[in-house]
Amino acid sequence: MTAIDAPTGPPRTPAPSGATGLSTPAEHLLRAAPAENFPVSPIVLPAAVRAHFNALYAFSRFVDNIGDEAAGDRLALLDRLSDDLSVIWAGGEPELGVLRLLARTVRACDLPAEPFERLVEANRQDQRVTRYETFDDLVHYCTLSADPVGRMVLGVFGLATPDRVVLSDRVCTALQLAEHWQDVAEDLAAGRIYLPQEDLDTFGVTEDDLRARVASPAVRHLMAFEVTRARTVIDQGAPLVSMVPGRLKLALAGFVGGGRSALDAIRRAGYDVLGGPPKAPKPRMARFALVALAQSAAPGAPAAARTAAAVATATSATGAGVRRGSGEGR
């Protein structure tokens, strides 16, 4: 992977006391859930499953908060977290409250360690890398920062089969891209740029352009390109909705709809993300979720999903597909 190492300098401004420490309670972390682009614990799911989803979200938010906002040596904190995380699969009881909650879900659903370890590694990478040369590099980062979450969700239902996982990875990568495109200004203030350098160069966009209060035509053209590319990726993964049963179908339609509505919000903002992250109103998110659900119920949807999974598997094996996704030109 070709990426640019993080420059030395002051750490990001720490969050309020207690928000990013290793002792942060799960209840505090769950307060961030309503701000996400998708429903974290959909009401359509049974209470026991929602509890598992909350445990997964609390862990993911916990790791991200340490990597993004904690004061002090974040790598050391992540190492301590990783050590305590490994206790779960060793059969012990972790010290951290968030991990004790997670342990119940891991053991009840027999989840493997790898997806959780990948999330920790993504946040280690955030401490070392602040720029990405190519879209391929960014997608590789998403295999650490985003794809594991979808695998966890499928694992809770015992549905993490290879054909479902490959489509889940597409959906999760697209959700991560949508978040990066919404948060360009916020990430830049933190010293990070997720827009690939090759794309900045292609559209003639400089870092100073990204610091402006209003997006220039070049920035808007760049963001239109990135939004179209992310939309292609989520469309590749959307057939997953037709490959799962019952209430999970509703939840996954919400995830797909949330990603599409986030990208649509950027479009509706004229591709200007520099004044803050464009957000879709809840009714619009619901509408996109209903569209995803309807598409999954269309005649031929299961067969189309199997074809999509086969194509995604083949293109992943050859290095094509998401990493060579197309988008609008200037």
Is 129-330 a CATH 1.10.600.10 domain? yes
- Tokens representing 208 are 């100073």
- pLDDT tens digit sequence for 64-121: 989 988 888 999 999 999 999 999 999 999 999 999 999 999 999 999 999 999 999 9
On the question of a common fold for 18-128 and 129-330, the answer reads yes
Nearest of 48, 327, 44 to residue 202 by alpha carbon = 327
Per-domain boundaries in the chain: 18-128, 129-330
Count CB neighbours of 44 within 10 A. 15
pLDDT reported for residue 161: 96
Distance CA 249, CA 240 (A): 9
Distance CA 149, CA 249 (A): 16
Triad 24, 26, 32: Cα angle to 5°? 95
Residue 4, H or E segment: strand 3-5
Type of residue numbered 132: Y
Please say whether the dihedral angle defined by the alpha carbons of residues 312, 315, 320 and 323, taken in this order, is positive or negative.
positive
- Tokens representing 112 are 């493997």
pTM, entire model: 0.84
Mapped onto helix, strand or coil, the DSSP state of residue 39 is: coil
Compute CA 242 distance to the chain's CA centroid, rounded to the nearest angstrom.
21
- pLDDT tens digit sequence for 281-300: 999 999 999 999 999 887 77
242-280 burial code (b ≥16 CB/10 A, e <16): bbbeeebbbbbbbbbbbbbbbbbbbeebebbbbeebbbb
Which superfamily, per CATH, for 18-128?
Farnesyl Diphosphate Synthase (1.10.600.10)
Residue ranges for the chain with pLDDT beneath 70: 1-42, 301-306, 308-309, 314-330
How many helices, marked H, and strands, marked E, lie in the chain?
A: 15, 2
